[in-house]
C-alpha cells in the first residue's frame, strides 16, 4: 500500500504533536527529580529552576530514609498493597463474572444497586461508624476491607467478561465443568490483560492510601508510608532554616514525592502491554 503525500504529512504532524505533549508531561517530572538531587546553592544560583543538575546530592533521600518509622511504614505499604490488591481482584472477579452472564436471574437489579453506590456513596461518617462497629479501627484491614470493590473497576471487568466468546462456556458446561472451574481455568487465563489493569488501579490506590489511614489508624507503627512522609515534611517545614547544612523543606518534599512514587514507576514498564490491552477492553466488539 502506497501512502500519499498528505498521509505522510499527517503522520509527521501527529508525531510532532505527540512528542510535544510528551515533553510537556516530562518536564514537571524531571524538575521534581532534579530539585531533590540538586544542592540548594546551585538551585539558588539558577533562580530555583534546574532540569539537569551539575552537582548531585543525596542528602534529602538520606534524611527521608533516616526516619526510624520509615522501614516499618514500607512494610505496612507492601502488606496493604499486596494483600489488598489480591483481595480486591478475587472479590471483583467473583462479582463481575456472574453478573456478566445474561441468563443470571435478577442480573439487572443487582447491577443497578451496585451502580447506585457509585452515584450516591454512604459518606465518611457512616463508613467510619461501620468500621468502628466491626472492630477494624487501628487495624491494617481497615485499609483493605472497606474498599474491597470499586464500582468502576467492576464495570470494566464485567464488560471484558461479556466480550468473551460464549461458545467456550457452553462447551465447558457440556464437558461437565462447573462455574468455578470455568472461571479459574478458562476465564482467568483469557482475562490477564483486564486483571492486570484492574490490579494496577487497586495497587496504586493502596500504595497511595492516606485519607483512610488518617481516619482509621491510630498507632504510629501501623501508619503507611504517605502518612509518615507527610509528618516528616510538616516537621521540616516548621523548622527554621538557619544553617547551610539544613535541608530545605522544598527539597525534602521533592525527595519524598520521588521516594513514594518510585515503586510504581519501576513496576509499570513490566506490565504496560497488559495495561494497554486492558484499558482498551470493551472498546471494540464484534
Give CA–CA dist 79/202, Å, rounded: 13
Distance of alpha carbon 154 from alpha carbon 137, whole angstroms: 26
What pLDDT was estimated at residue 260? Answer: 79
**d(C-alpha 10, C-alpha 253), whole Å:** 42
Spans of all domains in the chain:
1-57, 59-279
What is the pTM for the complete model shown?
0.77
* Interatomic CA distance for residues 220 and 62, integer angstroms: 21
Distances, alpha carbon 184 to alpha carbons 30, 90, 181, in Å: 43, 11, 5
Burial class (CB in 10 A: 0-12, 13-18, 19+), 209: buried
**E strands in the chain:** none
Complete DSSP assignment for 185-242: IIIHHHTHHHHHHHHHHHHHHHHT--HHHHHH---GGG--HHHHHHHHHHHHHHS---
Task: Give the model's pLDDT for residue 90.
Answer: 92
Q: Determine the Cα–Cα distance for residues 84 and 65; give it in Å rounded to an integer.
A: 25
Task: Look up residue 152 and give its three cell numbers.
Answer: 468502576
**CA–CA separation, 191 and 285 (whole Å):** 15
Cell of 90: 478475587
b vs e for 142-179, b when ≥16 Cβ sit within 10 Å of the residue's Cβ? bbbbbbebbeebbbbbbbbbbbeeeeebeebeeeeeee
Answer left, alpha or beta for residue 219, where phi above 0 means left and psi between -120 and 50 means alpha: beta
For domain 59-279, say whether CATH 3.30.1020.10 is its number: no
The C-alpha angle 239, 245, 246, rounded to 5 degrees, equals 15
Q: How many CB atoms lie within 10 A of CB 218?
A: 11
Which residues of the chain fall short of a pLDDT of 50? 241-245, 282, 284-286
Amino acid at each position: 500500500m502506497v501512502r500519499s503525500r498528505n498521509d505522510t504529512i499527517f503522520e509527521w504532524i501527529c508525531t510532532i504533536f505527540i512528542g510535544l505533549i510528551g515533553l510537556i508531561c516530562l518536564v514537571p517530572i524531571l524538575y521534581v527529580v532534579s530539585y531533590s538531587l540538586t544542592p540548594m546553592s546551585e538551585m539558588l544560583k539558577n533562580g530555583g529552576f534546574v532540569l539537569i543538575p551539575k552537582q548531585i546530592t543525596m542528602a534529602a533521600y538520606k534524611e527521608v530514609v533516616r526516619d526510624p518509622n520509615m522501614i516499618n511504614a514500607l512494610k505496612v505499604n507492601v502488606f496493604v498493597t499486596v494483600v489488598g490488591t489480591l483481595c480486591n481482584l478475587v472479590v471483583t472477579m467473583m462479582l463481575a463474572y456472574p453478573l456478566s452472564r445474561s441468563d443470571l436471574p435478577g442480573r439487572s437489579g443487582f447491577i443497578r444497586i451496585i451502580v447506585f453506590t457509585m452515584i450516591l456513596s454512604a459518606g465518611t461518617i457512616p463508613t467510619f461508624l461501620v468500621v468502628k462497629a466491626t472492630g477494624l479501627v487501628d487495624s491494617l484491614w481497615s485499609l483493605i476491607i472497606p474498599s474491597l470493590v470499586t464500582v468502576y473497576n467492576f464495570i470494566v471487568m464485567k464488560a471484558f467478561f461479556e466480550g468473551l466468546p460464549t461458545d467456550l462456556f457452553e462447551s465447558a458446561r457440556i464437558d461437565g465443568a462447573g462455574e468455578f472451574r470455568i472461571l479459574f481455568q478458562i476465564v482467568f487465563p483469557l482475562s490477564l490483560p483486564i486483571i492486570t489493569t484492574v490490579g494496577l488501579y487497586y495497587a496504586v490506590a493502596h500504595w497511595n492510601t492516606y485519607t483512610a489511614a488518617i481516619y482509621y489508624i491510630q498507632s504510629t507503627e501501623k501508619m503507611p508510608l504517605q502518612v509518615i512522609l507527610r509528618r516528616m515534611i510538616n516537621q521540616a517545614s516548621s523548622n527554621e532554616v538557619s544553617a547551610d547544612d539544613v535541608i530545605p523543606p522544598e527539597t525534602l518534599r521533592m525527595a519524598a514525592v520521588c521516594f513514594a512514587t518510585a515503586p510504581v514507576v519501576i513496576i509499570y514498564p513490566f506490565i504496560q502491554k497488559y495495561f494497554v490491552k486492558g484499558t482498551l477492553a470493551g472498546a471494540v466488539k464484534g
